[in-house]
Amino acid sequence: MASVGSAVGLGNIWRFPYETGQNGGAAFLIIYLLCVIVMGIPTLMAEMTIGRKTHANSARAFRKMTKHPLFSKVGYLGVLSCLLIMGFYAVVAGWTLEYMWESVSGVMTNLTAEQSEANFRVFSSHPFMPIFWTVLMSIMTHLIILGGVQKGIERASKWMMPMLFVLLIALCINSITLSGASEGLNFLFKPDFSKITSKVVLSAMGQAFFSLSLGAGVMITYASYFDKDVNIPHTATTVALLDTLVALLAGIIIFPAAFSFGITPDKGPNLVFVTLPNIFAQMPWGAVWAFIFFALLALASITSLISLHQVVTAYIAEELKLSNRKAALVVTSMVIVLSIICSLSLGVWNEFKIGGMCVFDLMDYVTAKIMMPLGSLLLCIFLGWKVKKETILKEITNYGTRPWRLANAFVVMLKYVIPILITIIFANELQLF
């Protein structure tokens, strides 16, 4: 449940629709699904294998398994990724709080598409409000981690996830019945393969890793708590299936509605926040739906934020020999600083660009499209080439008690298929051939 909690979050409901929208729709979706199946699920299993085998947090897990100068440091890359991800993730998580507030205060009711866009633009570029919500979100995450309320969060996830599913399905039905919905469905499901470029493939791969929380050590850390009888292939597949399902549902909610209200799908990070208010506006009891939806989305982001926070806190506590409390405080302070910078980069600091991107976009790009795939690449090469095959087979089959037909194929994926694919996708983007 906790792994699903980490995987399902803004990546599915905010990032997936906007990436799909910017990268041509169905063609992107197909490559994304292939990436989940071919690279995502095996990498997820690989992380779980390392986590349960070492029973250590991600930075230590690699050091525990090898003295190799490169591979022993893969965990650090993950720690850095988690920190940078939190920088922009906390900002978007903060937006969900603003939208919860807007749904009860009535700001959001009956906006046209243009008004809703203007509303979002004014809010997200405001020098104070988004920061207020972001800081509040970071403090909430911090308190949950400190208060040991985590048990409570786990319990909450147990009803939150099913509720989120039900709500998403209801919203899907609502979206498909909107006039002009078919155009949106065509965009999402009717591929135009001419749209595939190296950028589309890189984005799809990045989205797969981001959405499954891979290549950053999160799943290693979570799996370090697994019992020896947890069935890794089964657990990894379930997490991936649920995660993908939530993304698909989000797509079915957003695109028919966007087309129906005349919102262009390639808007970028504001797509969902511009489209959703229009959806709720035409629903009976729209404000109530909106409130419940954004509350669930806020909770889903908290469960992801906790997983990100945990990786960095565990590392700092160990490395600097600090108590967990102090380490968590250090991490939360860093996240607050980073997220203030990210938030301001969408407003007053928008002129400052690196490689044509503002800080917010840059952090998203660097983590999802470079660091996470790179972390996964190194992880697969490490497990495939530096760890004895028997060790992997033992771990993945629970010491032979749960034989798995595909165990050998899994090792081949780690050794050859995934490293080659990630390398080709990187090389292609860098126009090396």
Q: List residues binding ligand PHE (CB under 6 A).
A: 6-7, 9-12, 85, 210-211, 213, 216, 218, 304, 307-308
Least Å distance, CB 339 to ligand PHE, is: 15
Cβ within 8 Å of residue 1, ≥6 positions away: 154, 157, 158, 161
Residue count (the chain): 433
Least Å distance, CB 72 to ligand PHE, is: 21
Residue nearest to ligand PHE (CB): 11
Beta carbon nearer to ligand PHE, 124 or 213: 213
Beta carbon nearer to ligand PHE, 140 or 287: 140
Phi, psi for residue 84 in degrees, rounded to 5: -65, -40
Cβ within 8 Å of residue 390, ≥6 positions away: none
Distance, in Å, from the CA atom of 297 to the CA atom of 174, rounded to the nearest integer, reads 18
The SS3 call for residue 369 is: helix
Beta carbon nearer to ligand PHE, 213 or 343: 213
Please give the DSSP secondary-structure letter assigned to residue 194: G
Least Å distance, CB 202 to ligand PHE, is: 17
Beta carbon nearer to ligand PHE, 116 or 211: 211
Beta carbon nearer to ligand PHE, 240 or 393: 240
Please give the DSSP secondary-structure letter assigned to residue 9: S
Beta carbon nearer to ligand PHE, 111 or 204: 204
Least Å distance, CB 363 to ligand PHE, is: 12
Beta carbon nearer to ligand PHE, 131 or 308: 308
Is residue 143 within 8 A of residue 307, CB to CB? The reply is no
Least Å distance, CB 5 to ligand PHE, is: 9
Is residue 79 within 8 A of residue 61, CB to CB? The reply is no
Tell me the one-letter amino acid at 383: L
Least Å distance, CB 216 to ligand PHE, is: 5
Distance, in Å, from the CA atom of 246 to the CA atom of 53, rounded to the nearest integer, reads 30
Among candidate residues 375, 389, 388, 358, the one with its CA nearest the CA of residue 419: 375
Beta carbon nearer to ligand PHE, 35 or 218: 218
Least Å distance, CB 300 to ligand PHE, is: 7
Please give the radius of gyration of the chain, using alpha carbons only, rounded to the nearest integer: 21
Least Å distance, CB 433 to ligand PHE, is: 30
Least Å distance, CB 12 to ligand PHE, is: 5
- Helix axis angle, 26-35 relative to 181-189, nearest 10°? 40
Distance, in Å, from the CA atom of 31 to the CA atom of 80, rounded to the nearest integer, reads 27
Beta carbon nearer to ligand PHE, 164 or 218: 218
Beta carbon nearer to ligand PHE, 119 or 150: 150
Query: Is the CA virtual torsion 330, 332, 334, 336 positive or negative?
Result: negative
> 3-state SS of the chain: helix, strand, coil percent to 5?
75, 0, 20
Is residue 356 within 8 A of residue 364, CB to CB? The reply is no
DSSP symbols for 39-101: IIHHHHHHHHHHHHHHTS-HHHHHHHH---TTGGGHHHHHHHHHHHHHHHHHHHHHHHHHHHH
CA 430, chain centre distance (Å): 24
Least Å distance, CB 243 to ligand PHE, is: 7
